[in-house]
Amino acid sequence: MSNHRDPEPEPAPDGFLEAFSWHPEPELLGIRDAAVSREALRDAGAATWEAALDYLYDHAFVRAMGEPAGYEELRAQYFGADGAPGPAPRVPTPLPALLDEFRARIAPHTVSAYHPRSFGYFTPPPLVASVLGEILAQVAQQGVDVWHAGPVAAFVEEEVIRWLCDLVGYGRGSFGLLTSGGVMANFTAMALARDVHATRVLGLDRPPRGRALESLRVYTSDQTHFSIGRALDELGFPPECLVLVGADDDFRLRGADVAAAVAEDRAAGLTPIAISAVAGATNTGSVDAVGELADVAEREDLWLHVDAAYGAAARLSPRDAGRVPDLDRAHSVTVDPHKWFFQAYDIGGLMVRRGADLETVFGSRRPEYYRSGHAPMPSHGEDDGDDGHAEAGQLNFWRLGFEGTRRWRALKLWLSWKHIGTTGFARLVEANDDLAAHLAARIASDPEFEALPAVPPLSVVCFRHRPSGLENGPELDAHQDAIQAALEASGDGWVTTTRLRGSTWLRAGILNTQATISDIDRLLDSLRELADRA
């Protein structure tokens, strides 16, 4: 047995709080003395939690959007008559007064993810365990960049990444990292395609830069997230390197169409290097034919990336996993837990089939102040022995991505996953898919509404109201905008609008743990009533 004994907390020096006497609540600044500060911190936490509950039950469950106000009007309400930020506060304010200001100045004007008819962008109500995990992570203040700055935090992220790799279907040798969201994950994936795959395809001894990028081509569809194009822009690719291939009638990118585009480009002397597919498009929820695209990628020696930021969560459900197949055949997959895993912002992630590729691209720099993080990295299963244990090494996430200092994003997902389990996640995902199916069925049975596509691939439903006498064109488009704005102003629900095949459609992104069948019915009833007024 070890004789090690944890040290006792040191008492605060005499007069310690005098250094903070300039503040009305010194015990909330100089907190090292439990006898003085613990009760004050408990009271501050309780008061803050009470303000959060006031927000939930006085606002969030009452209105899907904040109190009606246009952009300029809300600026004037928030900033004052001149509509511009004032100077920074010069003197301290006690916490109770700040919480009152939150209640009066901020809470009434927020978008509510919790409202049972909030079906806007992919902003789900976070699980309570996720919120609590975020609190614990912020109190602990671990830097998950160099292992030495957040030792156990790195292990928690490693564990969560393993769970996500398993979800994708990746085996030994895979790894990943958590990011701020899908944009950064997709950016990282395109950097891997350039610096790992294109380097090999071109037979270079270092990654291509400048003019060496001009002949490279990456294939995607018009349903792909804008971050793929942005990533290629920022990585130095000329605009023509991104090739948009037409999707099918259900907004899916198909293998034969990509193969034809690849053949045409090869005949022109160009060098195809990657396909960027989507599994759960933000716009329509569409899922590309990943298996077909994987066949093309293997045959043509292309990097296959799948943006499954939203759709990967369907694989949590044995019933619905088949809607998002073949992710394991991709070289990299984006997964965003702050979408359909119902996590508090922010937490995205990139999973990579060959995890060592991350360090190949991002691990060459060796800052002096990270000396403790220069040790060899673990193999993550790539060179495991017969016992399946990874080769020893030190996990330093700054060598696997763009970020240096990194938030402890993993703890909230770790806590949530343990709290409800994979089976709990599956129930929540299935419930949303069922609500989307119900909405689509109601639309199909109502001659005043139509959906595109008629059957939602996941939990996004694009639809529009078609009153008699209005044909396709500007008036029908304006009608959708009008009833969307009216619904938003009413506070009774929230959907967004999008453009599909040159027309305006309403879009319900159903990622909501609080919604029920009756909420779907009420949403349609409200839209019909608002349409009659319009």
Q: Is 114 helix (H, G, I), strand (E, B) or coil?
A: coil
- Sequence-distant (≥ 6) Cβ neighbours of residue 276 within 8 angstroms: 186, 189, 190, 218, 219, 220, 224, 228, 305, 306, 307
Buried b vs exposed e over 487-521: b needs ≥16 C-beta within 10 Å? Answer: bbebbbbbbebbebeeebbbbbbbbbbbbeeebbe
CATH, range 416-533: 3.90.1150.170
pLDDT in tens, the chain (534 residues): 556 677 777 888 988 999 999 999 999 999 999 999 999 999 999 999 999 999 999 999 999 998 888 889 999 999 998 889 999 999 999 999 999 999 999 999 999 999 999 999 899 999 999 999 999 999 999 999 988 889 999 999 999 999 999 999 999 999 999 999 999 999 999 999 999 999 999 999 999 999 999 999 999 999 999 999 999 999 999 999 999 999 999 999 999 999 999 999 999 999 999 999 999 999 999 999 999 999 999 999 999 999 999 999 999 999 999 999 999 999 999 999 999 999 999 999 999 999 999 999 998 887 776 766 666 778 765 544 445 455 668 899 999 999 989 999 999 999 999 999 999 999 999 999 999 999 999 999 999 999 999 999 999 999 999 998 888 899 999 999 999 999 999 999 999 999 999 999 999 999 999 999 999 999 999 999 999 987
Q: Is the dihedral of CA 412, 418, 422, 424 positive or negative?
A: negative
CATH of 145-401 given 3.40.640.10, 2.60.120.960, 3.30.2270.10, 3.90.340.10: 3.40.640.10
Parts of the chain belonging to CATH 3.90.1150.170: 416-533
Parts of the chain belonging to CATH 3.40.640.10: 145-401
| Residues paired with residue 499 on neighbouring β-strands, in sequence order | 504
Q: How far apart are the first and last CA of the chain?
A: 78
Radius of gyration of the chain (CA): 26
